[in-house]
Every structure is written in structure tokens, then in C-alpha cells.
A and B are shown apart, each in its own frame.
Chain A
């Protein structure tokens, strides 16, 4: 069974540029999470989807961040415009609805210069 797939693995952009990350969860997993992990810190939840519905986006900086999961499967996280402080690893995870275990993808390491 394929795990959570994320692309790209690495991205370097200049500040004020847009960037997008893509995630394909494990087949059959209704719940999808986007986390941001700053250097030396644990992951922080940005948004959580149940199917195509964003059920928790309280930590998503909505002025510059947006996310979508149109068909309830794969998801895209976008930053526009990027700031220097957005440099981090962006992790996607998925789980069965109500499941205890979240399965994480390899992450996208974003560097904003």
C-alpha cells in the first residue's frame, strides 16, 4: 500500500513569490492534515479536512495561506505571497475517520530567501 505522497520535496523561492504544495493521502483515508514544522519544533496543525470539508483551520494564516481538497482526496496548500518566516517543513498526514494513528508524508522543505 502506498503511503502519503507529497510534492515537491524541496522548494526554494524568493519572498513575495507564490508557492504550492501537493498531497495525496493513503487511499481510503477520509481525514487529511497539513502541518508546519519549524526548525527544532514539533509539527503545528494548519488545517484538517474531513473529506472535502475543512473542519479545523483556526491556525491557518488566512491572509496568505489557502488550502483545498476539492474531491475529498488529494489536497493543495498554497502560500501567496511567501514571507521569510514561512521557511519550514510542510507535512501532510492522513488517517481513517476517527483513527488514532496519523500517517505522515515525507514533507516539503520550503526555503524563502
Chain B
């Protein structure tokens, strides 16, 4: 089974609108972390947001928020007020194991977001 599943190969969103990028995960660990990274066409991976499995509040970082539904094992990224510069590949990733101990990080296959003017 895939550890991280991103079912949307590509998404379009109108500039200034909000968009949700889907991510589901599979783990038997009780302690894990979920990440979203942005990869523009230039290739660098940019950290966006992190959610720990024990965090009760959904993580937010500026225009990014993570909709964490633990029972459904989903960790969707919500981008509000989309900008043209948001056009990029977006990767969901999961860290298994305790922070400070062994950590295995697995990435999904990515979603290509295109923001339309």
C-alpha cells in the first residue's frame, strides 16, 4: 500500500480563489508528522507547513493551512487567495517515528497546481 497518496495529478485555480490539495496517508505509528512542500519549476523543495499527529489544532502558516482529519488519515493542504507564484508542484510527505529518534520520510507523487490569471 502507498504510504502517501495524492490523487490529483493536476489542479487549476483562479487567481485569488482558494484551493485544496488532497493527501491521504497510511501508517500504523501513533507518532508521526505530515508535511507539505512546494517545488517550483526551478527545482528546489520549499517547506510550507507541518502537522504533528498529536497536534489538536490544524497547522496554519500565512495563506497555507493543513486540514488534518486523523480518523480519515487525511492531511489536505488549503491555499487561500491563490497567487500566480503559487503555480508549482506540491508534495505531501510523512515522517514516521518519534521526533528525535528514527525518522523515515516518505513523499507522495505530487500535485501540479496552475493558477490562472
Contacts and interface: CB of A to CB of B under 8 A. Distances in A.
Interface of A: 33, 40-45, 48, 55-56, 89, 91, 93, 97-107, 109
Contacts of B95: 100
Nearest to B93: A42
What size tier do the contact residues of chain B reach?
20 to 34
Contacts of B100: 97-98
B35 interface: yes
B109 A98 contact: no
Given A41-B110, A42-B91, A100 B33 contact: yes
A41 B102 CA distance: 24
B29 interface: no
Contacts of B37: 104
Nearest to A99: B99
B56 interface: no
A42 B109 contact: yes
Given A42-B109, A45-B104, A98-B99, A105 B33 contact: no
Nearest to A95: B103
Contacts of B64: none
A109 B46 CA distance: 17
A10 B42 CA distance: 13
Nearest to A3: B44
Contact of B43 (A56, A93, A97, A107): A107
Contacts of A43: 45, 91, 107
Q: 9 closest Cβ contacts across the A-B interface?
A: A42-B107, A98-B100, A104-B45, A100-B50, A101-B47, A42-B91, A43-B107, A106-B44, A107-B43
